[in-house]
Structure 1
Amino acid sequence: MTSSTPWTGGSVTSGAYVVLCPNPGPMTLDGTNTWVLLSHRTHEAVVVDPGPLDEDHLRAVLESVRAQGAQVAGALATHHHDDHVEGVPRWMELTDAPVRGGGFGESFAADERIVVGDLDIRVLLTPGHTADSVSFHLPDQSLLLTGDTVLGRGTSIVAYPDGNLTDYLASLDLLQRVAGDAPTILGPAHGPTAADAAVVIRDYRQHRQERLDQVRAALTAGARDAADVAQAVVERVYADVPRAVWPAAKATVRAQLEYLQAT
């Protein structure tokens, strides 16, 4: 299980660490995890999710790379949400390095490998949270970077219409297969890491099935349309959470309705 204690980032493996962006909130948890992946052989770094347009954060990431005696070879984004890529144009000015993902650069291909020195990054197409969501597997470091597909605390939003639950469940199955090959660290884009990614992903899959059962129950109870069902489920299931996240919860219920209608 993941920890409920505050997450501050820092070193995760010998070649990966997190610089935590100071943008905490209901949707970002402790803030955005900007991952720095190091090639010790070539003294290069690949940065994952530079984060929002926060000058101090972007410079802190860059200074952390320089403190390792490395230079930035490039950056990758797990998807297009602002808390991951709003700062990308400024990041490119600061580093003069290419960026891929989240609407920047060349699109990722399924099963693509990105090799930088002794860094071996496997690209996993994991749509569902958004249509363009990707994850990154570093088998040599037993590390799985999941973006917002799997978080370090709580559950992810699958927000209609960009989010798609059919795709999301398939992505969880893919991540489960990858994480199940060997003990693997979960490296989310928000919240703390977890020692056993497979356990967290399994719990995510179970949670989605429970939510689908709740939507079915609301339909059986006579909810008349998508908005009616969404409101009924949110009021029942999310009664104890801040109302600030209710709009996102309702969007997720709409994605669940779309899934049930298709199946």
Structure 2
Amino acid sequence: MTGHLTVPAAALADALPEWVTLLRAPNPGPMTLDGTNTWVLRATPGAPAVVVDPGPADEGHLDRIVAHGPIGAVLITHGHPDHTEGAAPLAGRLDGVPVRAADPAHTIGGDPLTDGYPLDVAGLGIRLVPTPGHTGDSVCFLARHGDEQVVLTGDTILGRGTTVVAHPDGHLGDYLASLELLTTYRGIPALPGHGPALADCGAAAEFYLAHRRARLDQVRAAVAAGARTAAEVVAAVYADVDRSLWWAAEWSVRAQLEHLGVEQP
């Protein structure tokens, strides 16, 4: 049986690159782990920084972000509130610095992100990596400074445990394809939306893929044994998960059943 994964999917990063700063929001919880990670990237002292995921609209957290100015751009990995609620107030404090997201609803002062959109800022090379699945608008960012690279993974890969496929917006087929893509980023650190940084994005993605495929086998077995609803599958497959999180597990199960072509009541 595949148990509930609570440990990191790859080795932890020994240290962050000197041009990367982690600001963790004070919103810990079962779905946010230690809190939402806001990442600040800056090529050289005094150069404009890039902020990835401003997090919740917490005044103290926004104060900490602003203190790391100057800031040239704000990027969003996906539209869940724990990553985006702080975007509008932060943009106001930064006198209109653009906020870029794949979803126009979370884009402020510019065009939504599209594949190939130029994101380089003051010595930082940043490339959009579309990774739908956790949500329909989920993206990652490959950031480069000199010879160093990092992948900012949002909630597509977490620093600890696994993420949910937020059905119906999230789609398991898309998520599996996104993980396949991320397996190609071997040896590049992953900077997740929650939890600690991981040493190898590709290794974490491979682990996630194996875990997801094993879960799919469990769902097939539960359906074959007579489970008919998402709730019944959760009870059979996610029995090792705290019941307070079964509602989130049901998101993933609905995505799994859809992926398997199982009709749901």
Report the TM-score, using the length of structure 2 for normalisation: 0.87
Distance 1:149 1:109 in 2: 18
Deviation at 1:42, TM superposition (A): 6.2
Q: Comparing both structures, which one devotes a greater share of its residues to helix?
A: 1
- Partner SS, residue 51 of structure 2: strand
Map of 1:219 onto structure 2: 223
Amino acid across the alignment from 1:147: G
Residue correspondence of structure 1 range 53-64 to structure 2 within 5 A: 53-63=57-67
Distance 1:56 1:215 in 2: 43
Amino acid across the alignment from 1:242: D
- One of 2, 6, 21 as aligned partner of 2:8: 2
After alignment, is 149-158 or 38-47 more displaced? Answer: 38-47
Amino acid across the alignment from 2:248: A
Contact 1:3/1:192 (8 A) holds in 2: no
Distance 1:40 1:139 in 2: 13
Amino acid across the alignment from 1:233: V
Distance 1:94 1:107 in 2: 21
- One of 129, 135, 154 as aligned partner of 1:130: 135
- Residue 98 (str. 1) matches residue 102 (str. 2): no
Map of 1:259 onto structure 2: 259
Q: Which runs of 5+ in 2 are unaligned?
A: 1-6
After alignment, is 37-46 or 128-137 more displaced? Answer: 37-46
Contact 2:222/2:237 (8 A) holds in 1: no
After alignment, is 213-222 or 111-120 more displaced? Answer: 111-120
Residue correspondence of structure 1 range 244-255 to structure 2 within 5 A: 244-255=244-255
Contact 1:18/1:34 (8 A) holds in 2: yes
Q: Deviations over 1:2-24 (max 9, x none)?
A: 399xx9xxx71111111000100
- Residue 43 (str. 1) matches residue 47 (str. 2): yes
User: More relative contact order in 1 or in 2 (CA 8 Å, sep 6+)?
Assistant: 2
- Partner SS, residue 129 of structure 2: strand
- Residue 143 (str. 1) matches residue 132 (str. 2): no
Q: Deviations over 1:74-113 (max 9, x none)?
A: 1000011000001111101111211011521422222434
Distance 1:218 1:238 in 2: 11
Map of 1:163 onto structure 2: 170
Distance 1:122 1:191 in 2: 23
Q: Which runs of 5+ in 1 are unaligned?
A: none
Report the RMSD for the aligned CA atoms in angstroms. 2.1
Distance 1:16 1:123 in 2: 18
Deviation at 1:123, TM superposition (A): 0.4
- One of 1, 14, 32 as aligned partner of 2:36: 32
Map of 1:233 onto structure 2: 233
Percent identity of paired positions between Structure 1 and Structure 2: 48
Deviation at 1:251, TM superposition (A): 1.0
Map of 2:117 onto structure 1: 112
Distance 1:94 1:118 in 2: 24
Deviating runs (4+, > 4 A) in structure 1? none
